[in-house]
Amino acid sequence: MRPARAADLPALMELAQLLDSPNLPHDEAFLRRRLERSERSFRTAGPPHAEREYQFVLVGDASRVVGTSAILSKHGTKEMPHLFLRVGQETRVSASTGVRVTHTTLQLAASYDGPTELGSLVLRPDSRGRPGWPGKLLSWGRFAFIARHRDCFEKHVLAEMRAAIDGHGRSAFWDAFGRRFTGMSYTEADHRSAFDKSFVLDLFPATPFYASLLDADVAAQLGHVHDEAKPALRLLEQAGLHWIDELDPFDGGPFVAAELARAVPVRKTVFGQVADDAPPDSAEPAILSIEHGGEWNAVAMRASREADAIHVPEEGRKRLGLSPGDAVAWTPLPPARQATP
């Protein structure tokens, strides 16, 4: 896993076609600008800012780019606010009939001083489940980078989870809700939101909306994620992120978030030196990351530590160019199976 470069644009275009989200649209001009901002961000560290975006790629055999993920150091500004539907409850009681009804409400809201956002995670289908924990490295590798550069990110981190979209690119929630107020298709609105969110604030209702007015099947899917997004959600839950009673106003998917200092991989990252000997066979998988001259690189493999002595296997030393005594960061990966709420 390494920072994306301008030369990775064709590979990112292929990956974006698999996701085509506001964070990673299948749009060459958008991705070219993203790469320019990303290269500047990696080159010159600085405090959180909407222009500081970090795009990573995962490189497999023969230097082929097989996946990507990103960190947006600040999501939610006056120019591009973080929009969400706040989920609440309202209870109505009729004294004359004794009927008591509790409604789930959806209220459009915006944040203009938002958190750091994790996004743009996509892995080629033929690379999923391969040796080396590629999905975990793409997800948790971002936290390993954040642990090294805490001042570059906000105190809270957020991720939007993709909800179910049908084979024709339609969102049942958007058709039942957003389309009624904007007249746009899901694809039109989703793509426009990548550079303009004012239309949502202008056209959506300013008052709470009862979810019970939606079709029952649509209401039942609120907060559910796309089947392909479930592994990504599980990894974020294992990292300590949780639902914060917010839904995406476009597809009804959940936002999960956490205080960055309490995120498991950030807390557990240890900075140390390469030990003389290799790890035992029983060592658990971990992310090993280094940074030289502004170039950050990470691999996932079995490694262990004793205090600040990091035991790195020979393959890891070769891939990262390490020798005993060199500086390296160790971030334990989550176990293969872990129950989540």
Q: Tell me which residues are annotated as active site.
A: 226
Residues in a beta bridge with 24: 21
- Name residue, tokens 């609440």: 88
Phi, psi (rounded to 5 degrees) for 49? -160, 150
Are 302 and 313 within 8 A, CB to CB? yes
| Nearest by Cα to 4 from 136, 195, 141, 125 | 141
* Rounded Cα gap, residues 203 and 35, in angstroms: 32
- Say what the alpha-carbon torsion angle 232, 235, 237, 243 is, to the nearest 10 degrees: -10
Count CA atoms closer than 13 A to 297's CA, side-chain side. Answer: 12
Whether 103 contacts 208, CB under 8 Å: no
Handedness of CA 218, 222, 226, 230 (dihedral sign): negative
Angle in degrees, 0-180, between the axes of helices 230-238 and 134-148, rounded to the nearest 10: 40
Q: How many CB atoms neighbour CB 229 within 10 A?
A: 19
d(CA 72, CA 158): 10
